[in-house]
């Protein structure tokens, strides 16, 4: 399997796409620019969602959901916003199809033409601030701290799986505040939440800073972002947090009565990260043998590969493997793994040889692999291999079975820390001071 992955030094872009394919993360769909996220890739996104959602709720935010369709007139209310997204918008113009009277196929029913065209959301500031007009009347209604998990559509011309697609999954936070100071504090708070997630969960060191006026979010006063260095020594924008001032409140006339009894416009922020983070994860840690995943975001933490030849050996090895799997699941890592148990799979598939299984799980980036055969059982021991350290250097031989579960827990935490340290050292070595 690894032989199907192009080396990074030969073609970095092809290496990335090969890992996405061989690890079973995603594939292109028949709709140009859109992707199918396969179960293993979606499992990584679920881990990201849970980690981020925990951080959002720890900072006082709650989840809601707003419509996919946005009246075109809403986008036109904020000049900078519409200018920034106009060329990427997909429009709904009709509400039904009818058989083509002049031939085969279907056509839009002329009688179903919408009175106002609807934009498929590229982002939700407009529809949300139109809603906030009904929710905000007094300073007592503030702050309003809302997050949404959703999909958006931006009609990109040049796409790459996870990194840039016409439709993608993301979260978008939209908050309203009584003062500019509070809104700016929120803008800074959330970019540092993203930094915390990138570094503590993704093991991906980032830099925090402002975007230039030419690169800021359309409709924002300013934009803060986190950026990470990939293995091709290029930066990847991984998350953004925007101070919107009163721009959207004024566009939708969202006012509140302040403590002095006067009406004034609310202050706004928005912030978001997307499935692009999976692309960043791949390019930060993976190698020429396949995907490498930090344990806190791995859908599967440990795979146990039983090795046997006879039915008698199979029975004894599988019994020991399942016993070890149960002990690993009981490791006290639930809080560290966002209240999940350690995920363990005993790969007892009969149709594949152990060598094939080793290669498959290596390409998929499972953090820990355990090898367990009859000779190991005679010694009451097993072999444990770490994915981030290739070859024999990453293996521990003769680990006692009664200590293996605890050792696996230790290795998962050690691997998480090692991946961050390695990525940070790589980035720091490539930094050059610049005075202009």
> Does 256 share its domain with 351?
no
Answer whether residue 133 shows pLDDT above 70: yes
Tokens of 131: 């809603």
Contact between 128 and 66 (Cβ < 8 Å): yes
Report whether pLDDT(436) > 70.
no
Q: Is residue 435 part of a domain?
A: no
Q: Based on the domain organization, do 314 and 228 belong to the same domain?
A: no
428 burial (CB, 10 Å; 0-12 / 13-18 / 19+) is: exposed
The rounded percent of the chain whose pLDDT value lies above 70 is 99
How big is the chain by its Cα radius of gyration, in Å?
25
Each residue's pLDDT tens digit, 138-158:
999 999 999 999 999 999 878
**H or E element in which residue 50 lies:** helix 39-58
Domain boundary (229, 260, 285) is at 285
- Both 56 and 15 in a single domain? yes
DSSP string for residues in 318-354: HHHHHHHHHHHHTSS-TTTTTTPPPPEEE---TTS-H
If asked whether residues 129 and 247 sit together in one domain, one would say yes
Is residue 266 located within the same domain as residue 385? Answer: no
Decide which of 251, 285, 319 is a domain's last residue. Answer: 285
Distance from the Cα of residue 159 to its chain's centroid: 17
Domain limits for position 339: 295-424
**Do residues 86 and 74 lie in contact, with contact meaning Cβ atoms separated by under 8 Å?**
no
Residues 43 and 141 in one domain: yes
CA distances from 71 to 82, 189, 248 (A): 12, 32, 15
Same domain? For 319 and 362 the reply is yes
Q: Taking residues 201-206, report their average pLDDT.
A: 98
Q: Where residue 79 falls among pLDDT bands split at 50, 70, 90?
A: low
Say which CATH number the domain at 50 has: 3.30.930.10
Report if residue 307 sits inside a domain: yes
260 and 330 together in one domain: no
- As a whole number, mean pLDDT of residues 262-279 equals 98
How far apart (Å, rounded) are the C-alpha atoms in residues 238 and 272? Answer: 9
Q: Is residue 9 part of a domain?
A: yes
User: Would residue 220 count as lying in a domain?
Assistant: yes
Of the candidates 258, 285, 312, which is a domain's last residue?
A: 285
Q: At 1, is the pLDDT very low, low, confident or very high (cuts 50, 70, 90)?
A: low
Total tally of structural domains belonging to the chain: 2
Whether 75 contacts 119, CB under 8 Å: yes
Q: Is the pLDDT confidence value at 338 over 90?
A: no
Q: What pLDDT band is residue 58 in, cutting at 50, 70 and 90? A: very high
Q: How far is Cα of residue 15 from the mean position of the Cα atoms in its chain? A: 20
Whether 271 and 348 share a structural domain: no
Per-residue pLDDT of 366-412, as tens digits, reads: 999 999 999 999 999 999 999 999 889 999 999 999 999 999 999 99
Q: Please say whether the beta carbons of 381 and 370 come within 8 A.
A: no
What sign for the dihedral angle of Cα 199, 63, 171, 30?
Answer: positive
Percent above pLDDT 90 for the chain: 91
> Using one digit for the tens of pLDDT, what is the confidence trace for 222-235?
999 999 999 999 99
CATH number (domain holding residue 417) = 3.40.50.800
User: 108 pLDDT exceeds 90?
Assistant: yes
Task: State pLDDT tens for residues 175-192.
Answer: 999 999 999 999 999 999
């Amino acid at each position: 399997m690894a032989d199907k992955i192009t080396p990074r030094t030969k073609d970095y872009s092809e290496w990335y796409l090969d890992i996405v394919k061989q690890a079973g993360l995603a594939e292109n769909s028949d709709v140009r620019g859109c992707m199918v996220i396969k179960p293993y890739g979606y499992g990584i996104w679920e881990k990201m969602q849970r980690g981020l959602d925990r951080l959002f709720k720890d900072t006082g935010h709650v989840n809601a959901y707003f419509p996919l369709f946005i009246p075109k007139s809403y986008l036109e209310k904020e000049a900078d916003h519409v200018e920034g997204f106009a060329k990427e918008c997909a429009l709904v113009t009709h509400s039904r199809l009818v058989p083509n009277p002049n031939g085969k196929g279907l056509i839009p029913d002329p009688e179903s033409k919408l009175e106002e065209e609807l934009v498929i959301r590229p982002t939700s500031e407009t529809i949300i601030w139109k809603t906030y007009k009904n929710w905000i009347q007094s300073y007592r209604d503030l702050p309003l701290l809302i997050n949404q998990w959703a999909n958006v559509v931006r009609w990109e011309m040049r796409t790459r799986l996870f990194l840039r697609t016409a439709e993608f999954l993301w979260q978008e936070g939209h908050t309203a505040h009584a003062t500019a100071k509070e809104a700016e504090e929120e803008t800074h708070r959330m970019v540092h939440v993203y930094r915390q997630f990138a570094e503590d969960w993704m093991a991906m060191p980032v830099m925090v800073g402002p975007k230039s006026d030419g690169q800021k979010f359309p409709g924002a006063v300013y934009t803060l972002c986190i950026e990470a260095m990939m293995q091709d020594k290029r930066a990847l924008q991984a998350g953004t947090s925007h101070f919107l001032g009163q721009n959207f409140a004024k566009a939708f006339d969202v006012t509140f009565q302040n403590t002095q009894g006067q009406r004034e416009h609310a202050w706004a922020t928005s912030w978001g990260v997307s499935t692009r983070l999976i692309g960043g994860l791949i390019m930060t840690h993976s190698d020429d043998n396949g995907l490498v995943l930090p344990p806190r975001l791995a859908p599967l933490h440990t795979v146990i590969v039983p090795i046997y030849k006879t039915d008698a050996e199979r029975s004894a090895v599988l019994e020991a493997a399942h016993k070890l799997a149960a002990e690993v699941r009981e490791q006290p890592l639930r809080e560290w793994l966002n209240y999940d148990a350690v995920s363990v799979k005993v790969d007892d598939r009969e149709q594949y040889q152990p060598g094939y299984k080793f290669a498959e799980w290596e390409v998929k980036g499972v953090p820990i692999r355990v090898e367990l055969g009859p000779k190991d059982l005679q010694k009451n021991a097993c072999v444990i291999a770490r994915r981030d350290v290739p070859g024999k250097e990453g293996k521990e031989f003769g680990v006692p079975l009664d200590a293996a579960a605890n050792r696996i827990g230790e290795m998962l935490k050690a691997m998480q820390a090692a991946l961050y340290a390695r990525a940070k050292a790589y980035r720091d070595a490539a930094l050059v001071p610049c005075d202009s």
